[in-house]
């Protein structure tokens, strides 16, 4: 029996339909905290897009269809890209349809742009559910970009509808800053990227739902390692992208950081809903930009305000050129997605501060809290 979840973000709409209710329930729980996601009656006929507009995403466990698309992609000329960390082969049919497979994950995709319909099939429920939620977000992203939004590489917290955006390269402390403020009374709007659009009333910010990676050290200093481990021990399922070594460490009660071969720390991975249920945060769907923060974590430094100026750069915006994790495989976004001069200028005019933080989360949180209060009352 078909089930369906409808997802709204501003005027963007995607309906996820499946024969497997676990898949639509996954989308409901993944997006419910940040976007408007509701269970709806599944359409009785699948002939194209949906009556209310938007896009349709069909997701099912279907080994036969999976094999058919794998064969088709193998027979066609195809390109190879890395999408969400997975090797992906993409073939484009002369009628405009796009087919793709992820061999290691046993997932296959078929996008019909004329109908606004994307199909996902796989061999097992969980990989299909993960892919369906990820691609539902991509369909929403495409619609929002066409509506004039852009994607910023920033975390974001909110108080009284006023958003504090935090920028910086990987490892600078974007996510850490947002999480520390979220544990001190701020609403969390995003941990890594947000949508933004310049409007007459200000710069409107929308959430980008995503899992959150939080290291053992930060969890422990926040007093949350024990409660998280307790939930895992009684069967709480973490996000499937979590490395098995992290799960093993949680079961064993180890707080020692774990590193992979490239020197990247492997961290517990939380579903969006778990940020509330396990970590006690309050999520926020949208706000208006009020201030900017530029942190830099330096292990042995005392937390302080930096006099070194920092301006927004190309790396602070995700475009077709700069996107590295979610390339636009299905051509969902407009060709030209570079931010307008007006948007960049309006962001640059907001109050801003550069901070040096360290690994002492209490001292860093205190500086962040004081700075945020000043910026959001300016």
Taking only the tens of pLDDT, the chain with its 378 residues reads 899 999 999 999 999 999 999 999 999 989 988 999 999 988 766 554 444 568 999 999 999 999 999 999 998 899 999 999 899 999 998 888 999 999 999 999 999 988 889 999 999 999 999 999 999 999 999 999 999 999 999 999 999 999 999 999 888 899 999 999 999 999 999 999 999 999 999 999 999 999 999 999 999 999 999 999 999 999 999 999 899 999 999 999 999 999 999 888 999 999 999 999 999 999 999 999 999 999 999 888 899 999 887 888 888 988 766 677 889 999 998 876 567 778 989 999 999 999 999 988 899 999 999 999 999 987
Task: Name all contacts of 122-125 with Cβ < 8 Å and 24+ positions apart.
Answer: 122/61, 122/62, 122/66, 123/61, 123/63, 123/66, 124/61, 125/20, 125/22, 125/23, 125/61
Beta bridge partners of 117: 56, 112
Q: What are phi and psi of 60, to 5 degrees?
A: -150, 160
Q: What are phi and psi of 229, to 5 degrees?
A: -60, -40
Q: Rounded to 5 degrees, what angle do the CA atoms 147, 151, 154 make?
A: 150
Token pair in block for residue 119: 């199909």
What is the predicted pLDDT for the residue at 263? 87
Residue that is written with structure tokens 């992906």 in the block: 88
Q: Rounded to 5 degrees, what angle do the CA atoms 216, 221, 226 make?
A: 65
């Amino acid at each position: 029996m078909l089930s369906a979840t409808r997802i709204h973000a501003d005027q963007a709409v995607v309906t996820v339909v499946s024969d497997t209710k676990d898949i639509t329930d996954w989308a409901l729980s993944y997006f419910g905290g940040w976007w408007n996601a509701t269970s709806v009656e599944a359409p009785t006929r699948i002939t194209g897009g949906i009556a209310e507009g938007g896009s349709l995403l069909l997701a099912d466990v279907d080994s036969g269809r999976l094999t058919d698309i794998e064969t088709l992609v193998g027979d066609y000329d195809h390109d190879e890209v890395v999408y969400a960390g997975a090797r992906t082969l993409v073939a484009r049919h002369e009628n405009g349809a796009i087919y793709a497979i992820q061999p290691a994950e046993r997932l296959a995709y078929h996008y019909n742009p004329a109908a606004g319909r994307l199909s996902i099939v796989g061999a097992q429920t969980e990989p299909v559910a993960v892919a369906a939620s990820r691609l539902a977000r991509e369909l929403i992203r495409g619609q929002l970009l066409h509506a004039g939004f852009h994607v910023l590489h920033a975390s974001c917290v909110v108080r009284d509808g006023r958003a504090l955006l935090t920028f910086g390269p990987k490892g600078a402390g974007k996510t850490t800053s947002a999480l520390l403020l979220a544990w001190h009374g701020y609403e969390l709007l995003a941990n890594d990227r947000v949508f933004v659009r310049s409007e007459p009333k200000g710069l409107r910010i929308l959430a980008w739902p995503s899992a959150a990676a939080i290291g053992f050290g930060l969890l422990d200093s926040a007093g949350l390692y024990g409660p998280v481990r307790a939930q895992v021990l009684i069967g709480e399922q973490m996000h499937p992208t979590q490395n098995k070594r992290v799960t093993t460490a949680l079961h064993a009660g180890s707080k020692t950081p774990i590193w992979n071969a490239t020197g990247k720390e492997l961290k517990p991975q939380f579903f969006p809903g778990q940020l509330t249920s396990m970590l006690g945060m309050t999520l926020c769907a949208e706000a208006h930009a009020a201030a900017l923060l530029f942190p830099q974590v330096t292990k042995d430094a005392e937390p302080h305000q930096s006099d070194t100026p920092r301006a927004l750069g190309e790396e602070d915006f995700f475009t077709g050129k700069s996107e590295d994790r979610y390339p636009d495989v299905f051509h969902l976004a407009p060709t030209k997605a570079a931010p307008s001069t007006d948007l960049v200028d309006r962001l640059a005019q907001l109050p801003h501060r550069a901070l040096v933080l360290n690994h002492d989360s209490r001292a860093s949180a205190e500086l962040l809290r004081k700075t945020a209060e000043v910026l959001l009352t300016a």
